[in-house]
């Protein structure tokens, strides 16, 4: 009896001879406890470690061979990576040569690079992820163009019967103030009706997908056509490879509180891995990008006036109402 996913065996980098579905059994979805078998598999995989002369990031090695569950059927896992914090420093010192000798520490140099938007040294690190995600999330994600992608093709192969169905606490109403956001969580009958519609429609669409494809007593519709019947919450999978600079850009936009929840959870899962991979770079990113604020020239002026004791209003700030609202959210 197959109790646990086979992904440890199936998806070994460099060794996989075919590609199979990773399944998280329904009942184990949330907790992902490690079974004895699984622990044995991991142990075996880790015993297969091979020697390399390349830079090794110990914090990242621990993420290889594990898949971080995201949403109800999705995951993110690291397939491969190149470089570490030292690779960023090494590349910067090639560029700046003796000019950087006065910077004492590697971390100080990395913070300096981040602060001054010197992005090329961060491009010297690369990451390759295997991601399973709903199609509507994939459509948003793919807009980040500076990446290499190989996606599961529903033209060649048949998709699995797996759909994203939001957890009750994610079933939110349209925001009344933000055209692209969510408001309160739906309650009672409305929530129940929505859940029922999403589940039933997805199931029926998949049943019909299968019956159109079926070659049992009929020719069977071409896969490249049948797929058009499937809704945007069906899961797809891809390999996605990018450099650290572009990954930070992705994280800044997608781990942001304004990003849609369903992509944000992927960004957050990736961020946790990056933190272990390049701790100094991630620290600088957190301070200067995620936790930072971009001030306009007007914003700088207002702050100076307020520091000098002046009470500035929206009218006297020169800012639009929208900009003022965002400014006040940060500085009160």
The nearest distance, CB 39 to a copy of itself, in angstroms, is 16
In this structure, how many other beta carbons lie within 10 angstroms of the beta carbon of residue 312? 17
User: Which one among 9, 34, 192, 222 touches a copy of itself, defined by CB under 8 A?
Assistant: 222
Q: Compute CA distances 61 → 49, 78, 81, 273, 302, whole Å.
A: 10, 9, 9, 10, 47
State the DSSP code for 70.
Answer: E
Query: Does residue 171 contact residue 185 with C-beta atoms inside 8 Å?
Result: yes
- Touching a copy of itself, residues 170-209 (CB under 8 A): 170-175, 179-184, 186, 190, 193-194, 197-198, 201-202, 204-205, 208
Tokens of 245: 């600079």
| Among 254, 289, 305, 325, the one annotated catalytic | 254
Concerning whether 254 is annotated as a catalytic residue, the answer is yes
Binding range to a copy of itself, per CB under 8 A, among 29-37, 69-77, 164-172, 274-282: 164-172
Q: Whose Cβ is closer to a copy of itself: residue 4's or residue 132's?
A: 132
The 72-91 site mask, x for binding a copy of itself (CB under 8 A), equals --------xxxxx-xx-xxx
According to the binding rule CB under 8 A, does residue 43 interact with a copy of itself? no
Name the strand (E) or helix (H) holding 141: helix 135-141
According to the binding rule CB under 8 A, does residue 55 interact with a copy of itself? yes
According to the binding rule CB under 8 A, does residue 68 interact with a copy of itself? no
- What interhelical angle do 297-307 and 321-331 show, nearest 10? 50
Q: Whose Cβ is closer to a copy of itself: residue 24's or residue 327's?
A: 327
According to the binding rule CB under 8 A, does residue 96 interact with a copy of itself? yes
Q: Which residue has the tokens 């007593």?
A: 217
The 246-275 site mask, x for binding a copy of itself (CB under 8 A), equals -------x------x---------------
Q: Which of 75, 64, 77, 78 is nearest to 29 (CA)?
A: 75
What's the CA gap between 138 and 131, in Å, rounded? 10
Which residues are catalytically annotated? 254
């Amino acid at each position: 009896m197959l109790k646990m996913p086979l992904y440890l065996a199936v998806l070994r980098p460099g060794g996989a001879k075919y590609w199979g579905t990773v399944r998280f059994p329904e009942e184990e979805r949330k907790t992902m406890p490690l079974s004895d078998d699984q622990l044995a598999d991991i142990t075996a995989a880790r015993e297969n470690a091979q020697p390399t002369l390349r830079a090794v990031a110990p914090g990242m090695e621990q993420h290889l061979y594990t898949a971080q569950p995201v949403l109800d059927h999705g995951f993110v896992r690291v397939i491969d990576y190149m470089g570490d914090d030292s690779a960023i420093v090494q590349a910067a010192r090639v560029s700046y040569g003796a000019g950087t000798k006065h910077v004492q520490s590697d971390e100080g140099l990395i913070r300096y690079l981040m602060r001054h938007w010197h992005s090329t040294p961060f491009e010297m690190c690369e990451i390759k992820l295997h991601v399973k995600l709903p199609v509507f999330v994939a459509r948003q994600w793919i807009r980040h163009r500076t990446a290499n992608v190989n996606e599961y093709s529903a033209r060649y192969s048949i998709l699995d019967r797996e759909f994203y169905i939001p957890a009750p606490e994610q079933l939110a109403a349209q925001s009344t103030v933000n055209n692209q956001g969510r408001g309160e969580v739906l309650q009672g009958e409305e929530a129940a009706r929505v859940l029922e519609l999403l589940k039933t429609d997805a199931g029926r669409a998949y049943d019909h997908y299968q019956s159109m494809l079926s070659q049992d007593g009929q020719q069977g519709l071409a896969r490249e056509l049948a797929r058009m019947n499937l809704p945007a919450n069906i899961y797809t999978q891809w390999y996605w490879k990018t450099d650290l600079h572009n990954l930070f850009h992705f994280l800044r936009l997608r781990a942001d509180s304004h990003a849609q929840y369903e992509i944000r959870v992927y960004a957050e899962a990736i961020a946790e891995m990056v933190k272990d991979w390049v701790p100094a770079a991630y620290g600088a990113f957190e301070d200067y990008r995620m936790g930072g604020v971009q001030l306009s020239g007007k914003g700088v002026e207002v702050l100076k006036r307020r520091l000098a004791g002046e009470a500035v209003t929206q009218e006297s700030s020169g800012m639009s109402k929208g900009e003022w609202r965002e400014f006040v959210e940060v500085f009160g």
